[in-house]
Amino acid sequence: MSDLIKKDETAAEHAKCMLNRRQFLMYTGTTAAAVSTISLNLFPGEAQAKARVVGYPRQHIGKLSQLKENAPLDFNYPDKGQNSQCFVVKMDGAKAGGGIGPQRDVVAFSYLCTHQGGFMNGKYQAVGEHRVLGQCPLHLSTYDLTRHGIIVSGQAYQSIPQVLLELDGDDIYAVGVMGLLFGRNENLMESQES
């Protein structure tokens, strides 16, 4: 192999023909997108994408004035089916992604870990400036509630589903879910669909 590389070639010159991990991912992602676009355009009228838009029920879950700082209020959403246990919490002035209220610190999330569905009821924590849900009793996953419930440690590989909230005067309404509830193929049960 040494005779393939010129003796006077520097490491910088040699690196010009090599791809780093970032370049590889960018090139393969671009190529995959181009191939997908081409395959859809080869047969016009044949491939039709169908998007299914599901409307979520608007459900009253409480009053802003009745929430206590860092004390979760439990509710079920988007239905009364399995794995619909959720909570809403006022996070003591900690501004959050998707937060409502004057301080943008009222958020709602599912209680079920996205890894294997461990129940995290009673696992909300306010430590200093951090507001987290976890650790999951199964594999210790922990989620940052100020950043849309992203995973910060543990075995989970996706964010905890966030319940989208709407404030109407003093009334808090759940109006949707961002993310898939654990153990479901879709968030609404068959009996709820029209």
Q: Which residues are catalytically annotated? A: 115, 139
Residue 15's φ and ψ, nearest 5 degrees, are -65, -20
DSSP 3-state assignment of 32?
Answer: helix
Instruction: Read off the tokens for 34.
Output: 């181009």
Give all strands (DSSP E) within the chain, no chain letters.
59-63, 73-76, 85-90, 106-110, 124-127, 130-134, 142-144, 150-153, 162-168, 171-178
CA dist., res. 180 & res. 186, Å (int): 7
CA dist., res. 57 & res. 55, Å (int): 7
CA dist., res. 142 & res. 155, Å (int): 9
